[in-house]
Amino acid sequence: MDHSASDTETDDYEQPLLHRKEENAEKAPACGSARYGLSVLACYGFFVAYALRVNLSVAMVDMLNTTSSSNASKSVCPRHSSPERPKHNHTASVYEWDSETQGWILGSFFYGYIVTQVPGGYLARKYGAKWLLGIGILGTVIFTLLTPLAADLGAGYLIAVRVLEGIGEGVTFPAMHAMWASWAPPLERSRLLTMSYTGAQLGTVVALPLSGVICFYLDWTYVFYVFGAVGLVWFILWTALVANTPSTHPRISERERLYIASSLRHELSPTSDYIPWRSILTSMPLWAIVVAHFSYNWTFYTLLTLLPTYMNDILGFSIQQNGMLSALPYLGCWILALLGGQLADYLRETCQFRTVAVRKAFTLIGMVGPAVFLIAAGYTNCDYVLAVAFLTISSSLGGLSASGFNISHLDIAPSYAGILLGITNSFATIPGMVGPVIARTLTKGNTIEEWRVVFYISAGINLFGAAFFTLFGQGSVQPWALHSQ
């Protein structure tokens, strides 16, 4: 099915049309609004989701019996000295898991996560996103609280619990995209979505150092109890304060309800029953998002899982000794994603740039920039300050893609945004499962030259994704997303 001609025509007149739509009702202020309240609670929700996802990586250090490890101090570069910290008397159990078992435990989350992506988008569209997202994260919270018990029962039980956590979290992004289809006025999408989804980076920024502090002063079991309790508080607030749509929200002002409804009047499909699967799966703009999402996540997951290894084994700097250092790339990503959301909507609303131009520009900067600095990091040799600086810049620039391909699902098919995100996120989960494995296979000799190959591969994949989205991405609602067929 080829809609290329009509797509181009729609794009040419897109911005004036958007303005005419939103002039039908007076713009509702942001301060104290229900839509920005939803954004804040969504940010809190994704904070919880990512804190629960990454806390095991830190806790794992204290969960292992390391008394027999020998080569802990070996690295390519001279090791950087650090003051000895006093040992606390911990009573939590430790385990004799080999490296293969550790790999299965750390990777098992993604095997559950990939399963519920497309079903999550479909169920959110059919039955509403509020309870699906709420119960998904609540399930993850419950299994997080059960993690110490599962670890005591055995590695198999812990793997099963992590798979179940992944199943719960798998619905979160598709469900939230489906909810924003009903809540986000087109010219506020970049702001609202980046505010909500940057909770993921914030969760990583806080969970990495805080988990280390909790392990040190209490023991590793409290990592799961503390973050689990934070998740329970979120669930109570979410169920009490959030509604599926503006029309069902008990506290929304009439002015805001009319503003949102008016701005979305011509963007949503008239029926919620029919889903044009053939048109969705043959849509080139969707596949442009798939390729960009896969490419971006390859670099993201490679760094997320292997940055501590590179710092320790190559640069001789144990990242566990400085939790904030491990969080720096994600702090930069969070800041630039938030600023990028504001800038993207300013360019669209005030400067009247076309949506497709803004999405492509942010995708290019958010994927080409990280590729350049990732390659540069491979040539810093033993200068760990410069290496950390380049890796931080690389991850930070990646935050700009949050206003690029990452929310294009809502531009091309708001009625089916949850399903579309389920499809793209399924493909984008694969790098989390195979990328680090391939990287470790390529770095068996643990040399700087081998790691440069890893960085080159990640950068190359990033550049390909950016180019593909630039060629085939769109910024307007596709014909199949508006009419029943």
pLDDT string in tens for the chain (485-residue length)? 444 333 433 444 344 444 444 445 678 888 889 999 999 999 999 999 999 988 888 888 788 876 644 444 567 888 776 555 555 556 788 899 887 788 788 888 989 999 999 999 999 988 999 999 999 999 999 999 999 999 999 999 999 999 999 999 999 999 999 999 999 999 999 999 999 999 999 998 899 889 888 888 888 999 999 999 999 999 999 999 999 999 999 999 999 999 999 999 877 766 567 889 999 999 999 999 999 999 999 988 887 777 767 777 777 766 555 567 778 888 999 999 999 999 999 999 999 999 999 999 999 999 999 999 999 999 998 887 898 899 899 999 999 999 999 999 999 999 999 999 999 999 999 998 888 778 878 888 888 899 899 999 999 999 999 999 999 999 999 999 986 54
For residue 57, the tally of other CB atoms under 10 A from its CB is 16
For 151, half-sphere exposure in the C-beta direction (CA atoms, 13 angstrom radius) is 23
Average pLDDT in the chain: 87
Does some domain include residue 142?
Answer: yes
pTM: 0.86
Residue range(s) defining the domain that contains residue 452: 4-66+97-481
> Residue 84: what are its φ and ψ, rounded to 5°?
-70, 135
In DSSP notation, 42-97 reads HHHHHHHHHHHHHHHHHHHHHHB--TT--GGG--SSPPPP-PPPPPP---S--B--
Handedness of CA 250, 255, 258, 261 (dihedral sign): negative
Which CATH number does the domain housing residue 211 bear? 1.20.1250.20
Does some domain include residue 81?
Answer: no
- Residue 357 and residue 414: Cα distance in Å, rounded? 19
38 with 191: CB under 8 angstroms?
Answer: no
User: Left, alpha or beta for 473 (phi > 0: left; psi -120 to 50: alpha)?
Assistant: beta
Does some domain include residue 88?
Answer: no
- Residue 335 and residue 405: Cα distance in Å, rounded? 18
pLDDT tens digits for range 182-218: 999 999 999 999 999 999 999 988 998 898 888 888 8
Does some domain include residue 50?
Answer: yes
- Residue 94 and residue 64: Cα distance in Å, rounded? 5
User: Left, alpha or beta for 406 (phi > 0: left; psi -120 to 50: alpha)?
Assistant: alpha
Beta carbons within 8 Å of 106's beta carbon, 6+ residues apart: 56, 57, 60, 305
In DSSP notation, 171-186 reads THHHHHHHHHHHH--G
> Residue 316: what are its φ and ψ, rounded to 5°?
70, 30
- Secondary-structure breakdown of the chain: helix, strand, coil percentages, each rounded to the nearest 5: 75, 0, 25
- Residue 3 and residue 303: Cα distance in Å, rounded? 38
Which DSSP state fits 410? Answer: H
Does some domain include residue 77?
Answer: no
Does some domain include residue 309?
Answer: yes
Handedness of CA 299, 377, 451, 69 (dihedral sign): negative
381 with 226: CB under 8 angstroms?
Answer: no
Does some domain include residue 78?
Answer: no
> Max CA-CA distance within the chain?
71
Tokens of 411: 């531009």
Number of domains in the chain: 1
217, 220, 222, 223: CA torsion to nearest 10: 100
Does some domain include residue 72?
Answer: no
Q: Hey, is 378 helix, strand or coil?
A: coil
Tokens of 201: 């980076």
Tokens of 143: 């299994």
77, 83, 89, 95: CA torsion to nearest 10: 0
User: Left, alpha or beta for 302 (phi > 0: left; psi -120 to 50: alpha)?
Assistant: alpha
